[in-house]
Structure 1
Amino acid sequence: MTIQTSASPAENTAAAGSAKLPRQIPYIIGNEGCERFSFYGMRNILTPFLVSTLLLYAPEAERAGIAKEIFHSFVIGVYFFPLLGGWLSDRFFGKYRTVLWFSLIYCAGHACLAMFEDNRTGFYTGLFLIALGSGGIKPLVVSFVGDQFDQTNKHLAKVVFDAFYWIINFGSFFASLLMPIFLRSYGPAVAFGIPGILMFIATLIFWLGRKQYVNVPPTAADPNSFLHVCRTALLAQAPGQGRAGLTVAALGGVLALGALALIPKLGFVICACMALGLVIAFGGMGASMQLERARGKHPDAAVDGVRAVLRILIVFALTTPFWSLFDQKASTWVLQGNEMAMPHEAWWWPSWLVKDAAQMQALNPALVMLLIPFNNLVLYPALRKLGFNPTALRRMGAGIGFSGLAWVVAGLIQLWIDGGDPVSLAWQIAPYALLTFGEVLVSATALEFAYSQAPQAMKGVIMAFWYLASTFGSLWVLLTNAGVRNEAVISHIASTGLSENAFLMFFFAGFAFLAAAAFALYARSYPMQDNYRAA
Structure 2
Amino acid sequence: MQKATAEAPVKKSILPKSVPYIIGNEAAERFSFYGMRSILTLFLVKQFFNPTGDAALSQQADAHANKLNHLFVMVAYALPFVGGMIADWFTGKYKLILYISIVYCIGHLLLAMFDTSLGGFEFGMLVVAIGAGGIKSCVSANVGDQFDASNQHMLSKVYGWFYFSINAGSMLSTVAIPTIYKYYGAAWAFGVPGILMALATVIFFMGRNKYVKVPPQGVNRNNLVFITWYALTHLSKKKPGQSLLDIAKGEYDPERVEGVKAVYRVIAVFFFALAFWAVWDQCLSEWTLYAEKMDRNINLGFTSFVIEPGSMSTFNTIFLLIFIPFFNYVIYPNLDKIGLKTTPLRRLGAGLVLTALSFVVIGFTHESIEHGGTPSMWWQVLAFLILSAAEVLVSITGLEYAYTHSPKSMKSTMSGIWFLVVSFGNLVTALVNSFIEDGGWWAANLKGANYEWFFVAFISAFIILFFFVSPRLKERNYITDPHVDNQVAADTTNL
Residue segments in structure 1 that go unaligned for 5+ positions in a row: 1-6, 243-287, 494-498
C-alpha distance in structure 1 between counterparts of 2:86 and 2:4, whole Å = 35
Gaps of 5+ in 2: 484-495
In the TM superposition, what are the counterparts of 1:9-408 in structure 2 within 5 Å? 9-11=4-6, 13=8, 15-16=10-11, 18-54=12-48, 60-61=57-58, 62-236=60-234, 238=236, 290-345=244-299, 347=301, 351-352=304-305, 354-408=306-360
Q: Deviations over 1:176-233 (max 9, x none)?
A: 1121111001101111111111111100000000011110011122232212221232
**1:240 & 1:303 partners in 2: Cα distance?**
15
Structure 1 residue 335, shift from structure 2 partner: 0.8
Residue number among 465, 483, 488 corresponding to 2:441 in the alignment: 488
Cα distance in 2 for partners of 1:19, 1:358 equals: 42
Partner of 2:490: none
The 1:238/1:85 distance shift into structure 2, 3 A limit, reads closer
Aligned match of 1:424? 376
SS class of match (1:211): coil
Q: Give the residue type in structure 2 aligned to 1:34.
A: A
SS in 1 for 2:181: helix
Match of 2:385 in 1: 433
Partner of 1:285: none
Q: CA contact under 8 A between 1:56 and 1:66: conserved in structure 2?
A: no
- Residue of structure 1 in register with 2:455 after alignment: 508
Quote the offset at 1:55 in angstroms: 6.6
Distance, in Å, in 1 between the alignment partners of 2:368 and 2:6 is 67
How many residues of Structure 1 are paired with residues of Structure 2 in the alignment?
Answer: 476
- What CA distance in whole angstroms lies between the structure 2 residues aligned with 1:240 and 1:173? 53
Q: Deviations over 1:294-319 (max 9, x none)?
A: 23333331121111111111211221
Contact 2:104 2:132 in 1 (8 A): yes
Bigger relative CO (Cα 8 Å, ≥ 6 apart): 2
| Shift in alpha-carbon separation, 1:211–1:395, aligned structure 2, 3 A | same
Secondary structure of 1:213's counterpart equals: coil
| Partner Cα separation in structure 2 for residue 380 and residue 347 of structure 1 | 39
Judge conservation of contact 1:179–1:191 (CA < 8 Å) in 2: yes
2:202 is paired with a residue whose SS is helix
- Is contact 1:177–1:359 with CA below 8 Å preserved after alignment? yes
Provide the TM-score with structure 2 as the length reference: 0.91
Q: Quick one: distance in 1 between partners of 2:152 and 2:239?
A: 50
CA contact under 8 A between 1:27 and 1:208: conserved in structure 2? yes
Evaluate the alpha carbon distance shift between residue 412 and residue 97 of structure 1 in structure 2; reply closer, same or farther with a 3 A threshold: same
Q: 1:514 to 1:293 in 2, by over 3 A?
A: same
- C-alpha distance in 2 between matches for 1:199 and 1:309: 34
Answer with 524-533 or 141-150: which moved more. Answer: 524-533
TM-score, normalization by structure 1: 0.84
Which of residues 464, 471, 479 in structure 2 aligns to 1:517?
464
Tell me the distance in 1 between the aligned counterparts of 2:181 and 2:16: 39
- SS of the aligned residue for 1:295 comes to helix
Name the CA shift for 1:289/1:480 in 2 (closer, same or farther; >3 Å).
Answer: farther
For 2:3 and 2:112, how far apart are their aligned partners in 1?
A: 56
Please state how far the C-alpha of 1:239 moved relative to its aligned partner: 6.7
Does the aligned pair in 2 maintain the 1:394–1:520 contact within 8 Å? no
1:451 corresponds to 2:449: no
Q: Which residue of 1 aligns with 2:488?
A: none
Matched letter for residue 20 of structure 1: I
Is the partner of 2:48 in helix, strand or coil? Answer: coil
Shift of 1:14: 5.5
* RMSD of aligned alpha carbons: 2.4
